Structure 1
Amino acid sequence: MSDQDIARNLKSIQQKIEKVATDAGRDPKEITLVAVSKTKPNEDILEAVTAGHLQFGENRMKELEDKMAEIELTDVVWHFIGNIQTNKIKYIADRVNWIHSVEKAKYLKEIEKRAGKANRVVNALIQVNISGEKQKGGCEPEDLANILESAQNYDHVIVRGLMGMATFVDDPEDVRSEFKLLKELFDSHQKYNEGSVNLEHLSMGMTNDMEVAIQEGATMVRIGSAIFGERNYD
């Protein structure tokens, strides 16, 4: 995709975020656009950086590892949003800024260990299964409290909020209840904010359901194809 297209798409998405947030009575500045660059070449990421965008999401650890090594720009903020492989956390912990897809306490423990060795702090989000689809990943809502309690005394990982992936549907209104569930869990678990748990972010909403997610409280939206175009493969 050309640099003009990427810049134009980014501007269009930002304008949409601003309108939806404003219409919902929210401050658009509360919402971070994570440009999902999985399978896209480094050139596309660099074009987005040239257009002023610095937040990028990847869903494969090896691809993220490679891109972080090749794109040596300290201002770029890297988000890992895919399935975690415990034995590969060590390869990204020295540079990744956010990990959205933590669904087990053992992953937090491993991130703490690896980030500690790199002498840095990683932001984590607990992924909750809000769709009921096993392939989407995430902890069950009833397990969230125990995971948060396990994370209160870390030095190198901070739990900053929750993440959820809604069912993929043609009509985004059909998944409003799933986003509502995540927001309700976010609100009801504020009592676990202590030490290294500080719930302030909700990562939910993608290209097809971003507007509903923002209306229901998203502070991070993960947008890929609307910025970089369709992918050749998942």
Structure 2
Amino acid sequence: MSIKENIEAVREKIAEAAKAAGRDPSSITLVGASKMNDAAACREAIAAGIDALGENRVQEMTEKLAENAYDGAPLYFIGHLQRNKVKQVVGKVALIQSVGSDPLLDEIEKQAEKLGIVQDILLEVNVGGEEAKSGYEPAAVFAAALRAKGMAHVRLRGLMTVPPIETEVGQNLANFQKVYRLYVDINQKLYDNTFDILSMGMSGDYADAVRAGATMVRVGTAIFGHRAYPAAKQEGTV
């Protein structure tokens, strides 16, 4: 199937999940996770109507920016971001989804201030408490949201999560529901219901994420096809 056909199939599945949850399918933003796909694939996805593209790696994103790969769609950074690479991302993307520590949050604020801009961000929630993953523990997210609220050069739009890899279909539904409750609580208590993004769900579980309240899903393999990962470096399916 072509990228266009894959996007249509994903949108159909999103629509089914949204309607089952009593939600409007048009309220769900579809992000194409374009890691390890070239500029031509990005352009094909944009031509097919993808809502946004998301990159995981700074170097790859920088190279594709130089090729004008993302022209016509918003670009989001969705991968682990190191503090020493913040200056390569702030101001280059519409949204940084993976802000998972106070030092990273502070560095983004510092760089955005230098550029005289306000950078939109999401706080990443390590809902599974996995040592190998970045992100705030659920119990620490409220304090991080309060910290972000006091900054002049970042705007917190909501939350993002990458749950543990499923060993059984539907296993992450409870994790998605947990992050949704956290999102609602912080939104009501700190942000006067101005949050508008809850980014969760990837190729294997985005329908469950939509059922649980996601407003944004990040889909790679189901749109672009399987990636050829280097040996011994395979990760969860985005």
Instruction: Answer whether TM exceeds 0.5 for this pair.
Output: yes
Matches for 1:39-58 after TM superposition, within 5 Å: 39-58=36-55
Does the alignment pair 1:137 with 2:134?
yes
- Segments of 4+ moved more than 4 angstroms: none
1:149 matched residue in structure 2: 146
1:101 matched residue in structure 2: 98
Q: Which residue identity is paired with 2:118?
A: V
Q: Deviations over 1:170-196 (max 9, x none)?
A: 4332111111110111122221217xx
Question: Does structure 1 retain, via aligned residues, the 8 Å contact 2:30–2:51?
Answer: no
Which of these residues, 11, 19, 40, is aligned with residue 22 of structure 1?
A: 19
Unaligned runs of 5+ in 1: none
Q: Which residue identity is paired with 2:40?
A: E
TM-score by structure 2 length? 0.90
User: 1:96 deviation in Å?
Assistant: 0.7
Does the alignment pair 1:125 with 2:122?
yes
Comparing 133-142 with 27-36, greater Cα deviation is found at 133-142
Q: Distance in 2 between the 1:172 and 1:34 partners?
A: 22
Comparing 101-110 with 202-211, greater Cα deviation is found at 101-110
Give identity over the alignment, percent.
Answer: 38
Question: Does structure 1 retain, via aligned residues, the 8 Å contact 2:53–2:70?
Answer: no
Q: Distance in 1 between the 2:170 and 2:33 partners?
A: 23
Q: Which residue identity is paired with 2:201?
A: G
Matches for 1:56-205 after TM superposition, within 5 Å: 56-71=53-68, 74-190=71-187, 191-193=189-191, 198-205=194-201
Q: Deviations over 1:78-120 (max 9, x none)?
A: 1111111111110121211111111112222221222233333
Question: Does structure 2 retain, via aligned residues, the 8 Å contact 1:172–1:212?
Answer: no
User: 1:226 deviation in Å?
Assistant: 0.5
Q: Which residue identity is paired with 2:195?
A: L
The 3-state SS of whatever aligns with 1:172 is: coil
Which of these residues, 203, 220, 226, is aligned with residue 207 of structure 1?
A: 203
Which of these residues, 3, 7, 13, is aligned with residue 6 of structure 1?
A: 3
1:216 matched residue in structure 2: 212
Aligned length: 229
Q: Which residue identity is paired with 1:193?
A: Y
Unaligned runs of 5+ in 2: none
Q: Which residue identity is paired with 1:211?
A: A
TM-score by structure 1 length? 0.91
Q: Which residue identity is paired with 1:204?
A: M
